[in-house]
Amino acid sequence: MSQKYDVVVIGAGPGGYVAAIRAAQLGLKTACIEKYVGKDGKQALGGTCLNVGCIPSKALLDSSWKYHEAKEGFKVHGIDVKGVNMDVPAMVERKDKIVKQLTGGVAALFKANGVTSIEGHGKLLAGKKVEVTAPDGNVTVIDAENVILASGSVPINIPPAPLTDDIIVDSTGALEFSTVPKKLGVIGAGVIGLELGSVWRRLGAEVVVFEALDSFLSLADEQVAKEAMKTFTKQGLQVRLGARVTGTEIKRKQVTVSFTDAEGEQQLTFDKLIVAVGRRPYTENLLASDCGVDLDERGMVYVDDYCATSVPGVYAVGDMVRGPMLAHKSSEEGVMVAERIAGHKAAMNYDLIPSVIYTHPEIAWVGKNEKQLKAEGVEFNVGVFPFAASGRAMAANDTGGFVKMIADAKTDRVLGVHVIGPSAAELVQQGAIAMEFGTSAEDLGMMVFSHPTLSEAMHEAALAVNGHAIHVANRKKR
């Protein structure tokens, strides 16, 4: 006799494990299936984000930035440090400890909330049955009232740059370098490419980033993207736009990359090459042919605004469905689905999902940018405040970038917040909260912000929208 659950979740990443925990909290008998195995050979919960994505990359970003600061940035504070060296294996080991602590934390949360954790590969069958293939090959079938698909995504591979064990790697392999490559190539100037390129550039690698598009950070505000390009160039990242990789060849433990750009066909040789051209939904052997779930032309599971698939009682969340591939988007979808299964009228505001790039300076935005609003014919006002005018940023010797706020010209309602600079990821969340509650720029300008803080830049940008900034010259109204 097969087991029966109210909710069965396939995948224990940010969407899946959060959905499972919330469902259990709501009194639903819940199981979560995960097949991923960590470095220790044991099941590791948390998905790409905790194991080989968001968390480990931030650990390396922070470690590499502290090294850079000790080597280059302490002198201005009167701190003289000599003989600074980076122990790369120790840095990677620290990253691994953080990963293990967090993935173990998810297991503890499952236990605390009564979620049954099942190790193996999950496959949706017809009739909301889920087939589980254990690591030893044993197959069982679970009955479910509701199924949540949360199998996530995997890196996209490209024919011109087939992966190898240690020279041509994807984002996962780039987290495991044991030494700093003298020359590093990165294919893709998106979030992953820029973050990983930044890590190894800070540690001394000569880094070239190939971007096939002619524009840089096309999803970001154009003013922010322009500032970012200027800053990264100053940091030593060589970003080549309009550079399409056509082939690779490995000789003597180096890789020669052939590419075409405005100057024609060219070649460059590297010690390592990271392929970071994006991710695709992972649906391999996930859906039986008769299960009834539909995929769209991009291979994503088709869902409605509430993440319901074409089969009643079957849902899908996270990277395998429409929308940005972001861990926080996945988690909130998981919560929404769990609550809707439990009978609550939960919904999610897809217009206010923040995006963050954890380079230094950080880049973050939420809502609409100028280009989008112009295309929609919306009249707007803009307020910008540079961190160069922030006392707190000056004290920290971190004055690059700015806060930019966009508000409706008629209603003054905040439509977008774009930040490049220190703590951008934290500051943009203030904008997201304000926008969720329909706040106007004037409302934010009337609030009292503590001094001295980086948050004051948000306050001044709000004041600048209507020409009322105090600590920077106001723009003339258009």
Q: How many residues does the chain have?
A: 478
- How far is CA 280 from each of CA 103, 121, 185, rounded to the nearest angstrom? 23, 19, 22
Burial 372-405 (b: 16+ CB within 10 A, else e): ebeeeeeebbbbbbbbebbebbeeeebbbbbbbb
**28 and 341 Cβ atoms separated by less than 8 Å:** yes
354 neighbors 428 (Cβ within 8 angstroms):
yes
Beta bridge partners of 267: 258
The whole-angstrom separation of Cα 113 and Cα 108 is 9
CA distance 294 to 303: 9
Three-class HEC string of 285-347: CCECCCCCCCECCCCCECCCCCCECCCCCEEECHHHCCCCCCHHHHHHHHHHHHHHHCCCCCC
Report how far residue 385's alpha carbon sits from residue 164's, in angstroms, rounded to the nearest whole number.
46
- Name, in order, each residue with C-beta under 8 angstroms of 96's C-beta and a sequence gap of 6 or more: 39, 56
Q: Coil, helix or strand for 252?
A: coil
Q: Is 90 helix (H, G, I), strand (E, B) or coil?
A: helix
The catalytic residues are 451
The dihedrals phi and psi of 86, each to the nearest 5 degrees, come to -105, 125
Give the separation between CA 157 and CA 26, rounded to whole angstroms. Answer: 40
Question: If we measure between CA atoms, which residue out of 324, 323, 306 comes closest to residue 315?
Answer: 306
End-to-end Cα distance, the chain: 72
**Residue type (1 letter), 454:** L
How far is residue 56's CA from residue 58's CA, in Å, rounded to a whole number?
5
User: What torsion, rounded to 10 degrees, do the Cα atoms 283, 284, 289, 293 define?
Assistant: -10
